[in-house]
């Protein structure tokens, strides 16, 4: 999944903005579909800007985290969110940023 898609586009090429979020960014097959969609648009000569919003359920998890009064609960909730992203990175064969843990996000 970590392979790059490259195509040469001119500076005069039109921009296409493609926004993905929720369940459309929650799994490796979804990211492969995004890669293919972007590659097709680039092959058509477009310059593509990909905008990605939260994985499915993450916005709700962040809302719940913001309501946690107890610090330990906040750390646990933030760690679960970070773990979900780490797991997806691992499945995609992408590097793991060790500084992104629940504890480092809360402190």
Please give the Cα distance from 69 to 63 (Å, whole number): 12
Is residue 29, in this structure, part of any structural domain at all?
Answer: yes
Mean pLDDT of 87-104: 78
Q: What is the pLDDT of residue 60?
A: 95
pLDDT digits (tens, 9 = 90+) for 19-46: 999 999 999 999 999 999 999 999 999 9
Q: Flag whether 64 is in a domain.
A: no
d(CA 38, CA 6): 10
Residue 96: the pLDDT is: 83
| 91 inside domain | yes
pLDDT at 56: 93
Q: Give the pLDDT score at 11.
A: 79
Q: What are phi and psi of 71, to 5 degrees?
A: -60, -40
DSSP-derived secondary structure for 18-35? EEEEEGGGSSHHHHHHHH
User: Does residue 34 form part of some domain?
Assistant: yes
Check residue 13 and report its DSSP letter: S
Q: Which domain holds residue 105?
A: 71-107
Domains in the chain: how many in total? 2
CA 93, 98, 102, 107 dihedral sign is negative
Per-residue pLDDT, averaged over 73-82, amounts to 92
Query: How does pLDDT run across 39-56, given as a tens digit for each residue?
Result: 999 999 999 999 999 999
25 domain-assigned: yes
- Inside any domain, residue 4: no
Q: What is the pLDDT of residue 16?
A: 96
In a domain, 8, yes or no: no
- Residue 9 inside a domain? The answer is no
């Amino acid at each position: 999944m970590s392979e790059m898609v490259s195509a040469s586009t001119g500076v005069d090429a039109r921009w296409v903005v493609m926004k993905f979020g929720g369940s459309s960014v929650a799994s490796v097959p979804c990211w492969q579909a995004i890669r293919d969609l972007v590659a097709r648009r680039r092959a058509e000569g477009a310059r593509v800007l990909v905008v990605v919003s939260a994985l499915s359920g993450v916005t709700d998890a962040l809302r719940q985290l913001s309501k946690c009064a107890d610090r330990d609960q906040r750390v646990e909730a933030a760690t679960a969110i970070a773990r979900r992203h780490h797991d997806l990175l691992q499945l995609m064969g992408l590097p793991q940023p060790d500084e992104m843990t629940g504890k480092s996000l809360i402190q």
